[in-house]
Amino acid sequence: MKIPSDPIIAVLCGGTSSERTVSLGSGAASALALSASFPTRLFTVDADALPADLDPARHVVFSTLHGTFGEDGGMQRLLDAAGVAYAGCDAAASALIMDKTATKAAAAARGINVAKGLTFSASEKPSVEAVIAALGDQVVVKPNDQGSSVGLTVATDRTVLAQALDGITEGNWLIEERLVGRELSVGVLNGKALGVVEIRPKSGVYDFASKYTKGATQYLAPAPLPEALTAAAQKAAEIAYAACGCRDYSRVDFMLCEQNVNNPLYLLEINTLPGMKETSLLPMSARCAGLDFTALVRELVSPAVQRFRR
């Protein structure tokens, strides 16, 4: 069969994770923007499976499936098995990065600062005393393998920590020492950092509500930082991206930590399929580098189009 030089971009959205609603918004916005550059079709995914009429001879996938299955390597493994070209990180990198502890270990091996933490399953929860002895009484409790700050709790004392632990009934979890400072986000496109965005949640915590409630968070793009610190954040993002085997694009988040004046950048997480509405963090980062939303999505999918043509 002759492969066409101009594929149809299959935008995947929805999915079965707790981030389905966010994904639906990302997919709709991305499909509209991609249609300015490519023939485009939006697929709503309702099961942990490939869409029935996805065709490796005609389609290149641009996935906006956030969270479990979409972002953890599950969908990527199915696409690989079916011979479908797709944008973004491959299955191995996706699986590694969905595991926050594994991501931190890979980045720390390349010299990136990470918070001290404890990883555990719901069936083997540590005691409050053990957590405080290891990390202090100011900690962050969150799932080890979820996105969009789902399930995040900032425990500022023993009582809140005990309540957070009592509420854990399933899954794998991470407790980290709380880092205090300014939260930064850096988009990385083909290994090169874009602009640095500062995130200022009005509540003081960038949790699910702060992310998705209109007006709850202020975003500064570019972040008001000294030139040297901006360059340091961009370099750290590129190192973390490479350390975890990222491909095409990702978004890397840091805390500019007040507790370490000499080396203040600490990795928070990497997002392989970040939010993709015009107001999302990766598009903000791209605008700092001169890429509007339409140009950005074209650049994000272009490496996959080239792989399709080869």
Catalytic residues: 19, 148, 212, 251, 253, 269, 271, 275
CA distances from 223 to 140, 184, 283 (A): 24, 8, 14
Least Cα distance to 302 among 188, 190, 186, 193 occurs for: 190
Residues 238 and 191: beta-carbon distance below 8 Å: yes
176, 143 contact by CB (below 8 A): no
Measure the CA–CA gap between 235 and 14, rounded to whole angstroms.
33
68's tokens: 């479990």
Q: Locate all alpha helices (DSSP H) within the chain, ordered by sequence.
A: 20-34, 74-82, 91-98, 100-108, 128-135, 158-166, 208-212, 227-243, 281-288, 293-309
Is 182:257 a contact under the CB 8 Å cutoff?
no
Q: What is the dihedral of CA 309, 277, 230, 244, to 10 degrees?
A: -50
